[in-house]
């Protein structure tokens, strides 16, 4: 019988807008590695790649759970003891109107589920620019357009309230707030949070508060993070958290969401979230046994983590602001810097050629979104200071050679 040529199977067109710049650069790094070079990865926010270790009491809790046979499916919304600890943590953050809490496969799944449960065709969600590309990827998967609002680089990367007001219309359902911010490291002031909450209140918007870095505040004079849900108890807020960053366990994929606000207002939305939670069975069951010891147990590791990150942040900012063509707003939280670079070619070209020439991998600012005419790149300053110094010397040499 004649063989019928195989028909090409095309991916869904809505995936054309799905990008994830942080990992999409892997092909360039692989090319450099095939040539026999070692690549220094300053592109992925994984503390465990460097000199940060998961707290031992969390490892012991997961090990005990596995040893004791907790290896089957768990409740779709999460272990009761884990949910109790998450609610307790929310209370410590000042969130007084908690209506629901649930555990997910990393905060990423919480974001995916909560956006999916809210938005209808033709509606939109405001996302920051620059932003963590997960949000635009999820919206792309849903076939929704991305509606960005600007962060103001001249105001320490605080949200641009005027731009937000201009973007809100009758189809707007929610606003995303990443605080501390990835990729800029910005931390919102209390006054800014109050103003954002009032915008949401007046326009009946949900706030998605991504606070995965809330314990990694680097300014010594401001150790405590402020949750927008604590400032606006009446506004519907979903606060995202997890073990990945604060507790140095990104590979465990344990995150959560906390829904707060008026009971009657959020009830149907919470029911929608739980329909999706049930459909995907459960998050990693044994790893959930680390949530309670993480949130209720010793926090000693955070002192060393913040001290190390603060020193590495200071080194990074000093280098950026003393290097021709670079400038950088000092990050106040997380472990990212977002320097601006004064060049004529695209920052995507800069990043790829830097990796090929100097074997240092950073992420182009256009992968996170940025104001037209500006160029940036994101640095992950997790490596130790000697490693960062070496990397920055290489980047400086590349800039001097390519952009004299």
Q: Which tens digits make up the pLDDT trace of 232-248?
A: 999 999 999 999 999 99
pLDDT at 22 over 70: no
pLDDT tens digits for 192-233?
999 999 999 999 999 999 999 999 999 867 668 999 999 999
146 and 109 co-located in one domain: yes
Confidence of residue 400 (pLDDT cuts 50, 70, 90): very high
Residue 188, domain extent = 56-296
Answer yes or no: do 165 and 282 share one domain.
Answer: yes
Tell me how far apart the alpha carbons of residues 314 and 331 are, in angstroms, rounded to a whole number.
Answer: 9
Say if residue 95 is in the same domain as residue 146. yes
Verify that 29 and 67 share a domain, yes or no: no
Mean pLDDT of 278-294: 97
- pTM here is 0.94
Note whether 65 and 143 are same-domain residues. yes
Maximum Cα–Cα distance for the chain, whole Å? 78
Measured CA to CA in angstroms, residue 171 lies from 182, 206, 271 at distances of: 26, 13, 22
Render pLDDT for 318-367 as a digit per residue (tens, 0 to 9).
Answer: 999 999 999 999 999 999 999 999 999 999 999 999 999 999 999 999 99
- In a shared domain, residues 277 and 193: yes
Q: Are residues 31 and 82 in the same domain?
A: no
Residues 42 and 123 in one domain: no
Residue that finishes a domain, picked among 232, 267, 296 = 296
Domain co-membership, 125 together with 175: yes
CATH number assigned to the domain comprising residue 148 = 3.40.640.10
- Output the pLDDT for position 7: 79
Looking at the structure of the chain, the number of domains it has is: 2
Helix, strand, coil % in the chain, rounded to nearest 5:
45, 15, 40
Instruction: Point out the domain boundary residue: 252, 271, 296.
Output: 296
Based on the fold, state whether residues 304 and 333 are members of the same structural domain. Answer: yes
Residues 43 and 61 in one domain: no
For position 366, what pLDDT does the model report?
93
pLDDT of 15 > 70? The answer is yes
Q: What is the CATH number of the domain that holds 389?
A: 3.90.1150.10
Say if residue 180 is in the same domain as residue 307: no
- Rounded Cα–Cα distance for residues 152 and 131 (Å): 12
> b/e for 52-74, b at 16 or more Cβ within 10 A?
bebbeebeebbeebeeeebeeeb
Q: Tell which of 274, 296, 318 closes a domain.
A: 296
């Amino acid at each position: 019988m004649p063989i019928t040529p195989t028909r090409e199977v095309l991916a869904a067109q809505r995936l054309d807008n799905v990008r994830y710049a942080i990992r999409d650069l892997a092909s360039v790094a692989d090319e450099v590695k095939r040539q026999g070079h070692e690549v220094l990865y300053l592109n992925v926010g994984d503390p465990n790649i460097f000199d940060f270790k998961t707290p031992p009491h969390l490892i012991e809790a997961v090990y005990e759970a596995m040893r004791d046979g907790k290896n089957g499916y768990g409740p779709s919304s999460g272990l009761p003891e884990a949910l109790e600890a998450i609610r307790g943590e929310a209370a410590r953050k000042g969130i007084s109107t908690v209506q629901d809490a649930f555990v997910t496969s990393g905060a990423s799944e919480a974001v995916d589920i909560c956006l999916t449960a809210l938005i209808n065709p033709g509606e939109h969600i405001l996302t920051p620019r620059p932003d963590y590309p997960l949000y635009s990827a999820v919206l792309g998967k849903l076939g929704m357009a991305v509606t960005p609002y600007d962060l103001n680089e001249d105001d320490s990367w605080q949200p641009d309230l005027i731009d937000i007001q201009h973007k809100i219309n009758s189809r707007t359902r929610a606003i995303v707030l990443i605080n501390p911010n990835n990729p800029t490291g910005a931390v919102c002031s209390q006054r800014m949070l109050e103003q954002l909450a009032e915008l949401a209140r007046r326009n009946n918007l949900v706030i998605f508060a991504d606070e995965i870095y809330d314990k990694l505040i680097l300014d010594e004079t401001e150790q405590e993070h402020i949750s927008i849900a604590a400032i606006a108890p009446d506004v519907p807020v979903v606060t995202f958290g997890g073990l990945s960053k604060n507790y140095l366990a990104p590979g465990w994929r344990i995150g959560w969401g906390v829904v707060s606000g008026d009971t009657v207002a959020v009830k149907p939305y919470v029911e929608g979230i739980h329909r999706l939670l049930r459909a995907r069975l459960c998050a990693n069951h044994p790893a959930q046994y680390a949530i309670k010891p993480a949130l209720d147990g010793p926090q000693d590791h955070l002192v060393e983590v913040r001290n190390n990150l603060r020193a590495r942040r200071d080194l990074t900012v000093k280098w950026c602001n003393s290097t021709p063509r670079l400038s950088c707003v000092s990050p106040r939280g997380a472990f990212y810097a977002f320097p601006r670079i004064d060049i004529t070619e695209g920052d995507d070209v800069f990043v790829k050629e830097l990796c090929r020439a100097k074997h240092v991998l950073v992420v182009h600012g256009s992968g996170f979104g940025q104001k037209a005419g500006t160029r940036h790149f994101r640095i992950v300053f997790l490596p130790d200071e000697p490693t960062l110094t070496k990397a920055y010397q290489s980047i400086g040499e590349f800039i001097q050679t390519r952009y004299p």
